[in-house]
Structure 1
Amino acid sequence: MQTSAPERTTTRPAFAIGTTPWAIVRLVGAAAILAAVVNQLAVTMGNALQATTPYASHVPTVAANFLSFFTIESNIWSAVMLVIVAVWSLRSTGSVTPEPRWIAILLACGSTYMIVTGIVYNTLLRGIELPQGTTVAWANEMMHVVGPLLMLADVLFAPRRRCLGWGVVAITAVFPIVWAAYTLIRANLIINPRTGTRGWYPYPFLDPANVGGYGGVAAYIAAIAVAILAVGAGVVWVSRKRGS
């Protein structure tokens, strides 16, 4: 399957936003996203350290659970890619060469995951208590609203974007498939820090007990897979319209 479009070149800097200003936006956004992740992790780990039961105070499990949220992984992925592409663009200021293909693909994946995270959280999970401990309000909004909007803006407005092939849509689906398999396999191997019973799921719709069994889980996963492919296709389509 083709994963990239033939490279095109351009001789005119037809960008509405300059490379340096947007690089600064990316760096500031990445810093804010990472600060939100670290703040939420600190609070979650603080709760574990103060817990009085063996399962709630088991720091390695609590930390692994925190890092098992798709939201956390998507935010870390996106922040890292924002830093990488910002540094690259600052080092090549004055050029009109589009971003390297590997950066463009990984950035497209991060954008897809963050946009889907924003959609899923704000349509299915807002107001539902998640099993990460006390939620830090500003960090929660940063990771589920501001971060996804920043990545959407990056898709729409960032200069020097590369035109991607339609095969990249399939690439965006790889990590979510691996994550879903990992989550469902790991779930029944873990003692829930809150209840002390076996079974821990990062999101309610992945717990068979909440959605009528594994058939319900499969339906939710299928719906989210469709959303990821649709958003991924949108990200690639924009790259083909804007990129070079």
Structure 2
Amino acid sequence: MQRSRGWASGWNAARIAVAALILVAVGTQLSSSVAEALARGRDVATVIANFLSFFTILSNVSSAIMIAWLGVRFFSRGRRREVDPPALATALALVSTYMIVTGVVYNMLLRGIPLQPETVPWTNKIMHVWGPLFLLLDVLLGPTRRRLPWSAAFAAAIFPIVWIVYTLLRAPLITNPTTGVPYWYPYPFLDPNTGGWGSVAVYIVVIAVAIVALAVGVVAIGRARGIRMPIDPTPATRPVH
């Protein structure tokens, strides 16, 4: 589906605005977490490292950088409705998938968990609800999406696998700065001390399958509505013999 230049301009302006809002939310929450750590005498370096180890934070920051990049690129190139370059298109599809997963997992598994005292409620909404919703809308409505090969969907599993391995290796080495227990897991469903390794394995498999399935959906939508740029009507100049 072709979109007008006005539509593309409006959507890319929205990308920049949402990216700024996400980054402000992340920064505000980090400041609140550090302030709480200082007030309670917790190890600030550990608190910051833990904060940056949440899949939510990583997906929000990466998606904000990506949509801001695309928005700035659009305006810096004279608002030309060019199809996204392959590398940027692939990265956008991946971060879109991760943000949608963040929204789904939060609303299905984590919404009922009481917020920590340092959690700023509006930042929680931005990172878990409104940010993921915008990235979903970007998949459905965003201009200049490129048609990607199906292999891009399977590449979406790489980062979550690396993150899970990192999380499970690091967790037993970290003392929880809030409770003092000798481990720290970012999410309850990854903690074997709660439900055992069998439960953790089931959650990992289900989430991995869901990520690939969502990535397939993102790529499928992109292939269905990938923009074909109009052909330049100016006839090519033939060489004179």
Same fold (TM over 0.5): yes
Flag the structure with higher helix content.
2
**1:238 aligns to 2:227 (yes or no):** no
- Written as runs of structure 1 = structure 2, the 5 A alignment for 1:194-233 is 194-211=178-195, 213-233=196-216
Q: If you compute each CA radius of gyration, which structure gives the higher value, 1 or 2? A: 2
**1:15 aligns to 2:15 (yes or no):** no
Name which of 73, 79, 98 aligns with 1:88: 73
The aligned residue for residue 135 of structure 2 is 151
**1:127 aligns to 2:107 (yes or no):** no
Question: What SS does structure 2 have at the residue aligned with 1:46?
Answer: helix
The aligned residue for residue 58 of structure 1 is 43
Q: Offset of 1:127 from its aligned partner?
A: 2.1
**1:102 aligns to 2:87 (yes or no):** yes
Number of residue pairs matched by the alignment:
226
Cα distance in 1 between the residues matched to 2:79 and 2:132: 29
The aligned residue for residue 123 of structure 2 is 139
- CA offsets per residue over residues 8-65 of structure 1, 9 Å max, x none? xxxxx8216622111110000001101110111111000001113xxxx111110000
Name which of 16, 19, 24 aligns with 1:27: 16
Cα distance in 1 between the residues matched to 2:79 and 2:96: 25
Q: Offset of 1:93 from its aligned partner?
A: 3.7
Cα distance in 2 between the residues matched to 1:138 and 1:77: 20
Q: Offset of 1:186 from its aligned partner?
A: 0.1
Q: Offset of 1:214 from its aligned partner?
A: 1.0
Structure 1: which amino acid aligns with 2:38? L
Structure 2: which amino acid aligns with 1:41? L
Cα distance in 1 between the residues matched to 2:189 and 2:154: 24
Cα distance in 1 between the residues matched to 2:16 and 2:79: 19
Structure 1: which amino acid aligns with 2:222? S
Question: What SS does structure 1 have at the residue aligned with 2:194?
Answer: coil
Question: What SS does structure 2 have at the residue aligned with 1:18?
Answer: helix
- CA offsets per residue over residues 142-170 of structure 1, 9 Å max, x none? 00000000000111111111000100011
| TM-score computed with the length of structure 1 as normaliser | 0.89
**1:48 aligns to 2:44 (yes or no):** no
Cα distance in 2 between the residues matched to 1:114 and 1:199: 27
Name which of 167, 170, 181 aligns with 2:165: 181
Q: Offset of 1:94 from its aligned partner?
A: 4.8
Cα distance in 1 between the residues matched to 2:134 and 2:23: 14
The answer to whether the Cα contact below 8 Å between 1:49 and 1:59 also exists between their aligned partners in 2 is yes
Larger relative contact order (Cα-Cα within 8 Å, sequence gap ≥ 6): 1
| TM-score computed with the length of structure 2 as normaliser | 0.90
Structure 2: which amino acid aligns with 1:50? A
Structure 2: which amino acid aligns with 1:51? R
Cα distance in 1 between the residues matched to 2:183 and 2:221: 41
RMSD: 1.4
Structure 1, unmatched stretches of 5+, are 1-12
The answer to whether the Cα contact below 8 Å between 2:59 and 2:98 also exists between their aligned partners in 1 is yes
Label 1:133 to 1:164 Cα distance change in 2 as closer, same or farther (>3 A). Answer: farther
The answer to whether the Cα contact below 8 Å between 2:8 and 2:81 also exists between their aligned partners in 1 is no
Structure 1: which amino acid aligns with 2:225? R
Q: Offset of 1:129 from its aligned partner?
A: 3.4
- CA offsets per residue over residues 42-101 of structure 1, 9 Å max, x none? 11000001113xxxx111110000000000000000000011111111123453320111
